[in-house]
Structure 1
Amino acid sequence: MKKITFAIIAFFALLNVTAQIKEPVKWKTKVEKVSDNEFNLVINGTIEKDWHVYSQFTPDGGALPMYLTFQDQKGNYELIGKAKESPYKKHFNDVFGVDEYYFDNSVKVTQKVKVTNPKTTKIKLEFEYQACKEACINDKKNFVFDIPAIQVKEDVVATNTTLDTAKVVTDKVSAKTDEVKPVVSEEPAKVVETPKKEEKKGLWTIFFLAFLGGFAALLTPCVFPMIPMTVSFFTKQSKTKAEGKRNAIIYGISIILIYVVLGLAVTGIFGADALNALSTNVWFNVIFFVLLVVFATSFLGAFEIMLPNSWANKVDRQADRGGIVGILFMALALAIVSFSCTGPIVGTLLVESASKGGIAPIVGMLGFSSALALPFMLFAMFPGWMNSLPKSGGWLNTVKVSLGFLELALAFKFLSNADLVLQLHWFERETFLAIWIAIFGTWGIYLLGKITLPHDSPLSHISVGRLFMAILVLSFTFYMIPGLWGAPLKLISAFPPPETYSESPNGVGGSSVVSGEKLPDGAEIGPHKLVLFTDYDKGMAYAKEVKKPVLLDFTGHACVNCRKMENNVWSDERVLKILKDEVVLISLFADDKRPLPKNEQHISKSTGSEIETIGDKWTDLMITKYKTNTQPLYVLVDLDGNNLNAITPTTSYNPDVSLYENWLKQGISNFKK
């Protein structure tokens, strides 16, 4: 009876363990014939609820993108364009600080190929992807597409018409096209405009920021003095008050139309979806950086960006025609004459909204023009309000210069993006913060009147408002300084490079040693200055030397919940003390793409998959020994690799600090027995 009971328990335990192997995506493939020798290779994926799969176009620095690697391509077939995807969704990941493109429910990937060898009957594809929910899975599939027999035509046969002896005229195919990297496609997938709250919030954020930009433009020397001139024109030229108010409303609407048309033009020229793809391109980020530096230099007073005077003269003559057409040309004249002040702001808004893709440039121009037009309409409708306006003066140039400092700071965000994509490490976190500290510090000193620029008026004293602004800017400057020593700076977390992309992961002046001693052989500094190993054998050897239990951390560079555990759970003082003093930490990255030495590459006995990379090796260890393939995964083991937690041998993503702490303490207690 005991044997039967034990067998039943063991059976259900096995079922429970086996159930941990996650396969949240079911894949099916098919071949669609396009012409005699062209075919679409189609991969359809059905995704379980609440899981999502990342696109091959998701930007670097975030989740792991999809990879397609076609095999035996040379001399057999060639790829036509990039692999196309069904519409993906977009979401800003505040952990990685980038937009991520992903699919939920289903995904379709289509690669068009041209068969150049009629003997080709099969095409092999190695398909890698990442799926995430509370945990992440990096999976690799090997698909084989059966190609229908090609009808050999006379124009491609050199001798006779038999399939075996036909000599097909082919183009030379470069071996370099064998692998499709996750770069921006020439025809990128479309972003689904979903009614998600965060996407609506994103457009509302753009509108609000653009609206503020419009008010800022209003308070510049090129625009503000034009308010009384415009109001005077409408009050004097209109025969009745009602006509004056009507003309003022038409004038305001005309201003809005002009800038919205500009947003439409930008979207139309580049394409609503292509704008987002361009924003992740290295060269466009560099161009945006240069453009914003030019705008900032103009605002600081080095020169003025102006449209040709002939344009303003021609438009001004058209404005004399009167009527609705004349009013429309008056609005256009305002846009041209004030371009030296509004141009850099409009350019910056278009650059920033273009990086969001979709209709963001149109929404941005709607917000900007609404703020710009509103005062002209209101003061023309209610001329008595003019008495409450402050007089023009040197303060207008102060606003313009302040905008120049903001433009300059924003420019370096785009330079940082380019460096992150290329992983050059030329513009790391400390460098970025040092530049921002210098920019905002100089701005604060300028506001205190200690620095003057070309178009500034003589300053005998500063106003209370200017003093408060200086205090605010300098406070922000001082806030950023601890970031050089590793402070997280949560207020601006989306702007500087991540803490891991740093000259020194421990901060400026931080030590890479623990308690004054050198790091053990094979160890390195990880999150929160924890000493960790990334090699299983070296970590186990060190654990035996110091006689401490081992915490196996199966993680991933592109695993967002792994970062959340490190940021929110490992950072807790109770957990951090245990990780520092009572265990040896071994972090094994399941998405490490570095190749294994040839003599270590093999076929997995558990899954039958090819183990070619370091990540493959650790994934296979997870599946073979712990019957799971999800990250993060935490396992406490003794010096012989045996589990220390009998009831719950492993744990995964769980933001409850107390539960994680108790799990660690239970395993350590068992080790000490």
Structure 2
Amino acid sequence: MKKALFFLLSFLAFANVNAQMVNPVKWSSKVEKISDTEFNLVMEGKIEDQWHVYSQFTPENGPLAAEFKFKDAKGNYELIGKVKESPYKKQYNDVFEVDEYYFEKKVTFTQKIKVLNPSLTTIKATIDYQVCKEVCINQDYAFTFSLPKIVMANPEEVVTNIDSIEADTTQTPKEKVKPAASTDVAQPKKEENRGLLTIFFLAFLGGFAALLTPCVFPMIPMTVSFFTKQSKNPGQGKRNAILYGISIIAIYLILGSLVTGIFGAEALNSLSTNVWFNVFFFILLVIFAVSFLGAFEIMLPNSWANKVDRQADRGGIIGILFMALALAIVSFSCTGPIVGTLLVESASKGGIAPIVGMLGFSSALALPFMLFAMFPSWMHSLPKSGGWLNTVKVSLGFLELALAFKFLSNADLVLQLHLLEREVFLAIWIAIFGTWALYLLGKITTPHDSPLTHISVGRLSLALLVLAFTVYMIPGLFGAPLKMISAFPPPQTYSESPTGFFGSSAEVSKGDLPDGAKIGEHGIITFTDYEKGLAHAKEVNKPIMLDFTGFACVNCRKMEINVWSDERVLSVLKNEVVLISLYVDDKRDLPKDQQYVSKETGKEVVTIGNKWTDFIITRYKTNTQPYYVLTDLKEQKLNEPISYTPNIDEYLAWLKDGVSKFK
């Protein structure tokens, strides 16, 4: 009796989510006239409480970004710029380790167009998007915009065409399944501020590192000597020193502002998550790294430095400003790669991050010049220039090289090429940091190194730290999670051996796997093709567990990490059921002869993800993920399906109930 009551309550708890199609967004559209040929196409969505729609600027490897398609544009109209959107909220997702950009309550997208064909009366467009709460839904929606046939007297007048979501019952998931962001509206702002502070701190460290390079450090005593000799009294010297430091900061702030202004705050984030820009950043950082390692120097034309130097001789405020500019130009061979890396990294955050990064970098660079010029007696405490400056420069080269492969990994993950899987990435990092340790220990030298007669305590300490980090990464080749650097290498599932070389999957080699199966999470034998999984279940006479999931579904990952890892649950999944994971966001095209139009939704099914989306809608009348179904060999439900269930005991009870009914 208690058992029956428990499952009745469980069913009621999930009925609202699982027993019906969910449409949390109601869309409407309108046309706003700008001129006789230019219009704004406005798409407005009203979002139900606690649900979130994700922005088109959401980073790769995170929640599914909104995507727009405008049909039959050629010869009829042209798009002016990108789709603009209402302000979004931002929050860090610790599962995917990226920032989420999302909307609550309401969202507005606006596309400006110019009409080329005077007889054009309608424009059709679609939006593919993701909406999440505890579960996620991948949906699309079709808009039809009616253009005015006459010139409007009032430019503010609009022609409205309301597209009610109830009028289109074919709205189906089409792409990825993702995390629902927190409903705490104060949290995104806090996370954004924290992100900017992190950028400032890292940039400050970068500025300090640039200060300790051969191009910059020797200029400190030269600059102090200049201010000491040129100033009529100590007060004037201090004022000039402060002005000099402010000038340095201003120059780099202008650089950060130019980057943000030229590309735009949102475009920076969009570019940084683009495959080809990730490849470009990889090549750029490799060039920077090779330069720091001593192969060549990246220098600005000497004529620039000469012209600026002549202006610096003028004295006064203008002279000091040009002195700061001269420092930036002369030291470019050392500071350029660091500045470039900081701009690339901060660009991935979008917004004003490049400006904040340049503020941190320039502050660290300018502060010592200011302080030593104000207090010349401190100069005696500075270490003498020497070979250690080149050691700093070479060390930065190793760091640049390691960071470069993060960008290449991003591109590989997006394209799913599996060229830079987790083991390969870690092997490269182990080689880079291991070589760095050997360099610090004096076993390897670079072209510009001075003869090393002994190793200082500081250099030895850094060598031991780098060597320890190298050793720490080695177990990652065999399945260790490496939580300290989890944001850098590809995820464990993106590897040659998802559970490690000596993990639980070792008992089943790839050659012994059933047809169509792979080794999935926690070493579970998993099918991604329904028919092959069904055939295997009949062969071994076990019930089937359908796992409707997505590559980027955060609550799917939470279930796998926190619930499936429980020994009791894992035992059932490994030994008592046949697991079939169907990814509704798989963008690979189906063969032409397998593409069709859904009888249930009337939509084209052209990708593998479309196929499994249509499958869950047609058979189970829902469109949410994660979604779990236990069936017998006749494909009949053994008990009521469930969705996101973080309570391990509840999930285990549901599993055991279905298995017992099968037996």
Q: Using structure 1 for the length normalisation, give the TM-score.
A: 0.82
Shift of 1:632: 0.3
Query: Is the 1:220–1:341 Cα contact (8 Å) retained in structure 2?
Result: yes
| Structure 2: gaps of 5 or more residues | 1-8, 152-173, 176-185
Cα distance in 1 for partners of 2:43, 2:349 equals 28
Shift of 1:370: 0.7
The answer to whether structure 1 residue 601 and structure 2 residue 600 are counterparts is no
Cα distance in 2 for partners of 1:338, 1:38 equals 49
The equivalent of 1:335 in structure 2 is 328
| Structure 1: gaps of 5 or more residues | 1-8, 152-180, 183-192
Query: Is the 1:644–1:670 Cα contact (8 Å) retained in structure 2?
Result: yes
Shift of 1:627: 4.1
The amino acid that maps onto 1:436 is W
- Shift of the 526–329 alpha-carbon distance from structure 1 to 2, 3 Å rule, reads same
- Shift of the 16–52 alpha-carbon distance from structure 1 to 2, 3 Å rule, reads closer
The equivalent of 2:25 in structure 1 is 25
Cα distance in 1 for partners of 2:298, 2:13 equals 73
Shift of 1:587: 1.2
The equivalent of 1:84 in structure 2 is 83
The equivalent of 2:109 in structure 1 is 109
Shift of 1:351: 2.1
The equivalent of 2:197 in structure 1 is 204
Cα distance in 2 for partners of 1:615, 1:130 equals 14
Cα distance in 2 for partners of 1:365, 1:75 equals 42
The amino acid that maps onto 2:386 is G
SS in 2 for 1:29: strand
SS in 2 for 1:458: coil
Query: Is the 1:551–1:586 Cα contact (8 Å) retained in structure 2?
Result: yes
Q: 1:618 aligns with which of 601, 612, 616?
A: 612
- Shift of the 335–33 alpha-carbon distance from structure 1 to 2, 3 Å rule, reads closer
- Shift of the 13–481 alpha-carbon distance from structure 1 to 2, 3 Å rule, reads closer
Superposed CA deviations along residues 497-545 of structure 1, whole A, max 9, x for unmatched, are 3334434545568897854672223322222221112233432332233
Shift of 1:600: 7.2
Shift of 1:202: 1.4
SS in 2 for 1:102: strand
Shift of 1:439: 0.9
Shift of 1:446: 0.5
The equivalent of 1:666 in structure 2 is 657
Query: Is the 1:76–1:117 Cα contact (8 Å) retained in structure 2?
Result: no
The equivalent of 2:450 in structure 1 is 457
The equivalent of 2:4 in structure 1 is none
- Greater shift, 533-542 or 246-255, is seen at 533-542
The equivalent of 1:304 in structure 2 is 297
Shift of 1:94: 4.2
Query: Is the 1:29–1:42 Cα contact (8 Å) retained in structure 2?
Result: yes
Query: Is the 2:503–2:523 Cα contact (8 Å) retained in structure 1?
Result: no
Query: Is the 2:505–2:524 Cα contact (8 Å) retained in structure 1?
Result: no
The equivalent of 2:553 in structure 1 is 559
The answer to whether structure 1 residue 264 and structure 2 residue 263 are counterparts is no
Q: 1:387 aligns with which of 357, 372, 380?
A: 380
Q: 1:520 aligns with which of 514, 519, 522?
A: 514
The amino acid that maps onto 2:613 is T
Superposed CA deviations along residues 555-607 of structure 1, whole A, max 9, x for unmatched, are 112322212222232223332222111211111222334347657734444x5
The amino acid that maps onto 1:104 is E
SS in 2 for 1:651: coil
Larger-gyration structure (1/2): 1
The equivalent of 1:62 in structure 2 is 62
The equivalent of 1:539 in structure 2 is 533
Cα distance in 2 for partners of 1:669, 1:559 equals 30
Cα distance in 2 for partners of 1:506, 1:525 equals 8
The equivalent of 1:498 in structure 2 is 491
Superposed CA deviations along residues 332-358 of structure 1, whole A, max 9, x for unmatched, are 232223222222212221222223222
SS in 1 for 2:102: strand
Q: 2:213 aligns with which of 220, 235, 239?
A: 220
Cα distance in 2 for partners of 1:15, 1:488 equals 37
SS in 1 for 2:215: coil
The equivalent of 2:585 in structure 1 is 591
- Shift of the 13–281 alpha-carbon distance from structure 1 to 2, 3 Å rule, reads closer
The answer to whether structure 1 residue 433 and structure 2 residue 432 are counterparts is no
Query: Is the 1:522–1:538 Cα contact (8 Å) retained in structure 2?
Result: yes
- Shift of the 69–211 alpha-carbon distance from structure 1 to 2, 3 Å rule, reads closer
Shift of 1:75: 8.7
- Shift of the 301–659 alpha-carbon distance from structure 1 to 2, 3 Å rule, reads same
The equivalent of 1:49 in structure 2 is 49
Map 1:135-150 → 2, pairs under 5 A: 135-146=135-146
Superposed CA deviations along residues 355-390 of structure 1, whole A, max 9, x for unmatched, are 322222211111111111112222232333333322
- Greater shift, 561-570 or 262-271, is seen at 262-271
Shift of 1:57: 4.8
The answer to whether structure 1 residue 635 and structure 2 residue 629 are counterparts is yes
The equivalent of 1:163 in structure 2 is none
- Shift of the 669–369 alpha-carbon distance from structure 1 to 2, 3 Å rule, reads same
The amino acid that maps onto 1:663 is W
SS in 2 for 1:348: helix
- Shift of the 462–625 alpha-carbon distance from structure 1 to 2, 3 Å rule, reads same
Shift of 1:461: 1.8
The equivalent of 2:178 in structure 1 is none
Shift of 1:275: 2.3
The equivalent of 1:405 in structure 2 is 398
- Shift of the 75–670 alpha-carbon distance from structure 1 to 2, 3 Å rule, reads same
Cα distance in 2 for partners of 1:619, 1:39 equals 35
Query: Is the 1:75–1:117 Cα contact (8 Å) retained in structure 2?
Result: no
- Shift of the 83–218 alpha-carbon distance from structure 1 to 2, 3 Å rule, reads closer
Map 1:134-173 → 2, pairs under 5 A: 134-146=134-146
The equivalent of 2:573 in structure 1 is 579
Superposed CA deviations along residues 404-444 of structure 1, whole A, max 9, x for unmatched, are 11111112222333333444433333332222111111001
Shift of 1:403: 0.7
Cα distance in 2 for partners of 1:271, 1:506 equals 42
Superposed CA deviations along residues 478-513 of structure 1, whole A, max 9, x for unmatched, are 222233333333222222233344345455688978
- Shift of the 601–284 alpha-carbon distance from structure 1 to 2, 3 Å rule, reads closer
Query: Is the 1:554–1:633 Cα contact (8 Å) retained in structure 2?
Result: yes
- Shift of the 537–513 alpha-carbon distance from structure 1 to 2, 3 Å rule, reads farther
C-alpha RMSD over aligned residues: 3.4
Cα distance in 2 for partners of 1:315, 1:308 equals 12
- Shift of the 270–624 alpha-carbon distance from structure 1 to 2, 3 Å rule, reads closer
Q: Using structure 2 for the length normalisation, give the TM-score.
A: 0.83
Superposed CA deviations along residues 29-57 of structure 1, whole A, max 9, x for unmatched, are 33445666776543211112332223345
Cα distance in 2 for partners of 1:16, 1:547 equals 33
Query: Is the 2:57–2:266 Cα contact (8 Å) retained in structure 1?
Result: no
Q: 2:544 aligns with which of 542, 550, 571?
A: 550
Shift of 1:630: 1.1
The equivalent of 1:377 in structure 2 is 370
Cα distance in 1 for partners of 2:115, 2:42 equals 14
